[in-house]
Structure 1
Amino acid sequence: MWSVPVPIPGNPLGYTLVYAIESPRGPVLVDAGWNHPDAWAALSGGLAALGLDVSTVSGVVVTHFHPDHAGLAGQVRQASGAWIAMHENDAALVRLMNEFAAREHAAFQTDMLRRAGAGPDEAAEAMGERPPPPALPDRELRDGDLVDLPGRKLRAVHTPGHTPGHICLHLEDADRLFTGDHVLPDITPHVGIYPYDREDVDPLGEFLDSLDRVRDLGPLDALPAHEWIFPDVAARAAEIRHHHEEKLERLRALLAQRPQPLTIWEVAAMMTWNRPWDELAPALRGMAAGEAAAHLRALEARGQVRRVAGVDAVRFHALDS
């Protein structure tokens, strides 16, 4: 089993750790990296340095559909004939993305930002470019499924939150857990709602439940997709859960101090990020609003805040504790 750092051009994360697991049919990759010539050179060259040829890869299991994880899966398949597997929930999103025209995506973003309370200028600036959709998978996984890895036991553990179909992969014969973006050693993954004002999902609630599930697997060695390998994934999962519970309590208290309901955009501007709101790039403000929306929705599901439908934008206010 090896790891290959695959760069993410222009991204502060730096790289995605792609893992290669030996198999009699050829290596199986956990994730593949961003679809970019430099990333492809790093992946194929990194495998070659290990004595592996990308043309011998038998499969790519993707922890989730984001472009820094699934972007090169299609190119690996073209080079080797490998299968691509991901959770059925993310596979459904990939199919939707492939059917969604770019102009429809722009209209979707504009309307979503408007309903969140962003002004016209802010909405225009916050609209990020849509990366090309990842390749459609050949195989769809469900919770508990074993990945096609002869001689090993690599089991899918459904851990929604970062995406609806995010999976961790438990290498049961080695007491290791490939955590994707679900549990990272120093940072926490983005958990947002898109569109921001959806009422039928609770991604942060699902994320917290998924952290409990990972914690219950015990003190396994963690092999994340970013940063570095670390021990005792259970302890880190509990730490991340505590962080979000504190964040939820601060948000509830903040809303309780305000006499009038606030839009999602106003809430996002008041929350604490890794830099002040005024210093966040427009696209990062859009992501922050998605995360604010997920925290508001979690509080709403707990009966601690209530949404108020408005003509221009949805608003939220705190209920008595």
Structure 2
Amino acid sequence: MRAVVTDGTGGPEVLSVGEVEQPQAGPGEVLIEVRATAVNRADTLQRRGMYPPPKGASDVIGLECSGVVAALGPDGDGGPVTGAGGAPLAVGDEVCALLAGGGYAAYVVVPAGQVMPVPAGVDLVTAAALPEVACTVWSNLEMVAGLQQGETLLVHGGAGGIGTFAIQLAHHRGVRVVATAGSPEKLQTCRELGADVVVSYRDEDFVEVVRGLGGADVILDNMGASYLGRNVTALATEGRLVVIGMQGGAKGELDLGMLLGKRGSVSATSLRARPVEEKAAICAEVVAEVWPMVADGRIRPMVHGTMPLEEVRAAHELMEASGHTGKIVLTL
């Protein structure tokens, strides 16, 4: 089958489209004929040899997809194979899925609990931009940080895939949202999506802005080490910092005295390496709680643009140049 293959590790030039063996669905698994996949920052790290797939996962890059159910593996109990939320799956169903790997390919196998219906009103290609951001944002803001109505959320990288989704979800749940971005156009996008306050990380100090608002109850951070100290300073009393990326490095210095004084917490999470059962539980909550917000238009999937799979190098270059707003989608 057609898939993106890598010639060693390195820059986008190591990527090309070739032929690999088609996977087969085992017990409790679903084979999806992929129509589209989306590019994530983690994909670029895997390409560079810095984010290997979990044991047993496909070596093909790609953490999400949309497509059509092509085959169902046998259920361990002999009953129907059910997707996220418990709905039975059938060959021909249009679905999207959260993956541990394998999305940049014509077919992918995924545990049934990570297969989700396409939200009403969303076309099949656009649906490829939803699983990773929806599951990441929901699991971190709601399940880890316990974000509450009336609190203040600081989102770093507000114009990216995660950021645009987090702004919309928090806004429609009655949260005051502060978002950082690097250009006037991206700051305006954040405003349009529901950010109450926007901060240019090139020209302003987000710490001073957020402290002027009383501090952030929750911070969703994709930078890691370079922002660690400043994020802790920006936290409100009993604030929660959730680190989901390391664009600014992996090792930082933590002022425990300040954190203790604020009765704050720091969490670092990775969605990809979680057990299948945990990811299935997250997907089920996303279907129940988030998909209705997508279906009625409160949350809009943000797609910067689509490219054919053969242009995967250009897609990675665009991602690493931060020249996009929302998600970059590859079509098959």
Structure having the larger proportion of residues in helix = 1
- Shared fold (TM-score greater than 0.5)? no
User: TM-score scaled by structure 1?
Assistant: 0.30
